């Protein structure tokens, strides 16, 4: 937890737990704080059981045996697959740290005694579950999953060792998977929470003509797909159809205008003029009558997504919507199945298929799992972050804006190179190393794994406020000063970040007080930048100075010295 600020992921998790279990779970304790911790601990265990054990909300709540004599186990639940889930849950209000060693030891002892069916050592809540537990143990096929669930971010080797020793002791050669310990910290619960907001995978039935297939090393079908079917998919699933693609629809570009023109004027030529559409899916199975000539075939497709051809699909959808005759529109379609492919094969297909077209390095940021999580985390709080290129609504911010703001926020020795690059060409912040796939040292420097969604949005808000101050002040300035102020945005943002102490704060949105502090600081600093700039004979334009890392370093040094004396 940075500077004593509760992680936004924990705030969102508590909000979810309240929504699901408020009024269904009672927290106990000697004071209000203890009751709150106990409530969230119980709710955390219940939420885990609903997500990973398949329990209903009611069953998950009733699974609790928390209280005196629980022997370190807070919840006990047996699912339909005869797996006994034993959960110890700990709510940590700071969102960091680990479960105490003594608590883990108590939990391990409780798991051992329950596995030995020493029920007399447990409280009355456990006794109610004894008949079901005995049924499971007597079946000879029962498994135990012992779960340490907590809202922290660490688990030391001494805790892990206690669990590992018990696994080795109870797992016999005839039943090597009888007991398994699971460790679930805040990051795991955040992923579970994000999954709840994801739409169901696309399952569709399609008809392709003149099709063929490749069976090895991975199954792939290809053939002619009608424009009407592509429109139907786009109309039903909208941008979800492109979730695995690196870009959404780019709008009325020259290429997309040509696609639309072909649809209207030469629909029968579309198949020949267009590169086609590539899909990935989990499975692709024939249904209905079989045609030995393979002129027509019906197929059921699971977890379908377009990974190349979003512009084609969207342009077809728009063309069809305009009322044009699409009966002759055919598209070359390729369906690559991933059920037998390596885990990262889908991302590799996406990358290489798109490398064959005019794709910016910025677009490959969409393959970063962190970008997905930041966007989904912010979306839950009503903030729209577009990590895929496409039309940008006024209320959104995108990955390019984020990269420029982060370049100004960096305070290491390379700050001046990053600020200069943000001024020269923000897209170069995403530049990849030749032959290194998705790797971009600068991108990794800006969008590091430990960056919090809340930090990202607050950093961007500050940068946007600074940009507005620059626009306002430059309109009021004249002569040389006007050019200085107009080009100072990125250096100004960098210095504002240094002097503004509230990037790490519990609130996602800047308060009115913080907005006023940023504006006031920016207005003062930009005037200092203009004043110190004019004391040096640069022999170059302001635009050139603010794009030069060495000049930025010189100017920042003078500005910081002047501000220190103010």
Helices 512-533/479-486 angle, 10° precision:
130
Tell me the chain's radius of gyration from C-alpha atoms.
29
Measured between alpha carbons, how far apart are the two ends of the chain, in Å? 33
Q: For 2-195, which CATH class?
A: alpha beta
Q: Would the pLDDT of 246 be above 50?
A: no
Q: Taking Cα atoms as reference points, which of 205, 208, 210 lies closest to residue 293?
A: 210
Please give the pLDDT value at position 433: 47
Please give the pLDDT value at position 174: 82
Task: Quickly list DSSP for 486-506.
Answer: HT-HHHHHHHHHHH---SS-S
Query: For all residues of the chain together, what is the average pLDDT?
Result: 86
- What value does the mean pLDDT take over residues 510-529? 96
- What value does the mean pLDDT take over residues 377-392? 78
Q: Would the pLDDT of 395 be above 70?
A: no
- What value does the mean pLDDT take over residues 248-258? 47
Please give the pLDDT value at position 432: 65
Q: Tell me which of 159-163, 248-252, 310-314 is least confident.
A: 248-252
**312 in Cβ contact with 274 (< 8 Å):** yes
Q: Would the pLDDT of 176 be above 80?
A: yes
- What value does the mean pLDDT take over residues 501-524? 93
What is the pLDDT confidence band of residue 102, given thresholds at 50, 70 and 90? very high
**85 in Cβ contact with 179 (< 8 Å):** no
- What value does the mean pLDDT take over residues 114-125? 96
The phi and psi torsions of 90 (rounded to 5 degrees) equal -135, 120
Say how many C-beta atoms besides its own lie within 10 A of residue 131's C-beta. Answer: 9
Please give the pLDDT value at position 339: 85
Distance separating alpha carbons of residues 178 and 136, to the nearest angstrom: 12
Distance separating alpha carbons of residues 167 and 108, to the nearest angstrom: 10
**75 in Cβ contact with 45 (< 8 Å):** yes
Please give the pLDDT value at position 388: 72
In which residue are the tokens 């699912």 written? 79
Please give the pLDDT value at position 116: 96
Distance separating alpha carbons of residues 169 and 176, to the nearest angstrom: 10
Alpha helices in 202-331 (DSSP H): 227-237, 254-265, 270-273, 310-321
Please give the pLDDT value at position 380: 84
**522 in Cβ contact with 553 (< 8 Å):** no
Distance separating alpha carbons of residues 377 and 354, to the nearest angstrom: 27
The phi and psi torsions of 88 (rounded to 5 degrees) equal -110, 125
What is the pLDDT confidence band of residue 426, given thresholds at 50, 70 and 90? confident
What is the pLDDT confidence band of residue 427, given thresholds at 50, 70 and 90? confident
- What value does the mean pLDDT take over residues 156-160? 86
Q: pLDDT digit string (tens) for 301-351?
A: 998 988 888 777 877 776 554 555 566 888 899 999 988 877 667 766 766
Task: Give 306-372 as a 3 state SS string.
Answer: EEECHHHHHHHHHHHHCCCCCCCCEEEEEEEECCCCCCCHHHHHHHHHHHCCCCCHHHHHHHCHHHH
What does each C-alpha distance from 304 to 184, 205, 237 come to in angstroms? 30, 10, 11
Say how many C-beta atoms besides its own lie within 10 A of residue 232's C-beta. Answer: 15
Please give the pLDDT value at position 250: 44
Q: Taking Cα atoms as reference points, which of 446, 451, 457 lies closest to residue 409?
A: 446
Q: Would the pLDDT of 434 be above 60?
A: no
What residue spans define the domains of the chain? 2-195, 203-359, 373-565
Q: Would the pLDDT of 360 be above 80?
A: no
What would the two tokens of residue 177 be? 């998977």
173, burial (CB in 10 Å: exposed 0-12, middle 13-18, buried 19+): exposed
The phi and psi torsions of 467 (rounded to 5 degrees) equal -60, -40
- What value does the mean pLDDT take over residues 506-526? 95
Distance separating alpha carbons of residues 230 and 318, to the nearest angstrom: 11
The H or E element that residue 159 is part of is helix 157-170
Q: Kindly give, in sequence order, each residue whose CB lies less than 8 Å from that of residue 135, ignoring residues fewer than 6 positions away.
A: none
The H or E element that residue 17 is part of is helix 8-21
Q: Tell me which of 249-258, 455-464, 490-499 is least confident.
A: 249-258
> Which 3 state secondary structure label does DSSP give 302?
strand
Q: Would the pLDDT of 183 be above 80?
A: yes
């Amino acid at each position: 937890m940075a500077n004593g600020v509760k992680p936004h992921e924990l705030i969102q998790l508590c909000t979810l737990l309240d929504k699901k279990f408020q009024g269904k779970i009672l927290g106990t304790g000697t004071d209000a704080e203890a009751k709150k911790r106990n409530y969230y601990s119980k709710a955390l265990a219940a939420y885990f059981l609903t997500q990973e054990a398949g329990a209903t909300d009611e069953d998950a709540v009733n699974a609790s045996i928390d209280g005196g004599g629980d022997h370190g186990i807070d919840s006990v639940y047996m699912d339909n697959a005869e797996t006994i889930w034993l959960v110890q849950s700990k709510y940590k209000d700071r969102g960091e740290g680990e479960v105490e060693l003594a608590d883990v030891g108590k939990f391990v002892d409780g798991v051992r005694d329950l596995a030995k069916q020493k029920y007399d050592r447990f409280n009355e809540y456990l006794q109610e579950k004894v008949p079901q537990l005995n049924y499971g143990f007597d079946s000879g096929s029962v498994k135990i999953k012992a779960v340490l669930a907590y809202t922290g971010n660490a688990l030391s080797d001494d805790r892990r060792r206690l669990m590992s020793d018990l696994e080795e002791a109870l797992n016999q050669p005839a039943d090597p998977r009888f007991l398994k310990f699971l460790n679930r910290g805040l990051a795991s619960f955040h992923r579970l929470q994000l999954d709840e907001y994801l739409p169901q995978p696309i399952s569709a039935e399609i008809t392709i003509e003149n099709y063929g297939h490749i069976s090895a090393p991975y199954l792939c079908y290809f053939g002619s797909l009608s424009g009407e079917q592509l429109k139907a998919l786009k109309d039903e699933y909208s941008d979800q159809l492109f979730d695995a693609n690196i870009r959404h629809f780019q709008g009325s570009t020259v290429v997309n205008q040509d696609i639309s023109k072909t649809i209207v004027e030469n629909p029968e030529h579309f198949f020949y003029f267009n590169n086609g559409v590539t899909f990935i899916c989990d499975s692709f199975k024939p249904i209905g009558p079989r045609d030995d000539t393979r002129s027509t075939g019906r197929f059921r497709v699971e977890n379908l997504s377009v990974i190349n051809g979003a512009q084609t699909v969207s342009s077809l959808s728009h063309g069809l919507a305009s009322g044009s005759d699409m009966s002759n529109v055919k598209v070359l379609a390729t369906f690559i199945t991933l059920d037998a492919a390596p885990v990262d094969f889908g991302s590799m297909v996406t990358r290489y298929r798109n490398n064959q077209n005019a794709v910016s390095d910025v677009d490959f940021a969409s393959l970063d799992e962190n970008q997905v999580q930041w966007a989904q985390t912010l979306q839950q709080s009503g903030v729209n972050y577009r990590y895929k290129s496409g039309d940008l609504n006024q209320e959104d911010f995108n990955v390019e804006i984020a990269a420029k703001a982060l370049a100004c926020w960096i305070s290491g020795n390379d700050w001046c190179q990053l600020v200069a690059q943000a001024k020269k060409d923000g897209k170069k912040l995403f530049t990849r190393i030749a032959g290194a796939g998705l790797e971009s040292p600068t991108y990794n420097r800006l969008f590091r794994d430990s960056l919090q969604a809340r930090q990202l949005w607050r950093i961007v808000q500050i940068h946007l406020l600074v940009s507005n101050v620059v626009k306002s002040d430059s309109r009021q300035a004249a002569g040389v000063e006007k050019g200085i102020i107009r080009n100072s945005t990125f250096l100004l943002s960098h210095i504002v970040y240094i002097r503004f102490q509230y990037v790490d704060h519990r609130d996602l949105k800047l308060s009115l007080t913080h907005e006023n502090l940023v504006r006031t600081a920016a207005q003062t600093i930009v005037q200092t930048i203009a004043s110190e700039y004019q004391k040096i004979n640069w022999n170059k334009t302001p635009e050139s100075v603010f794009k030069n890392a060495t000049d930025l370093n010189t100017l920042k040094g003078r500005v910081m010295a002047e501000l220190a004396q103010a």
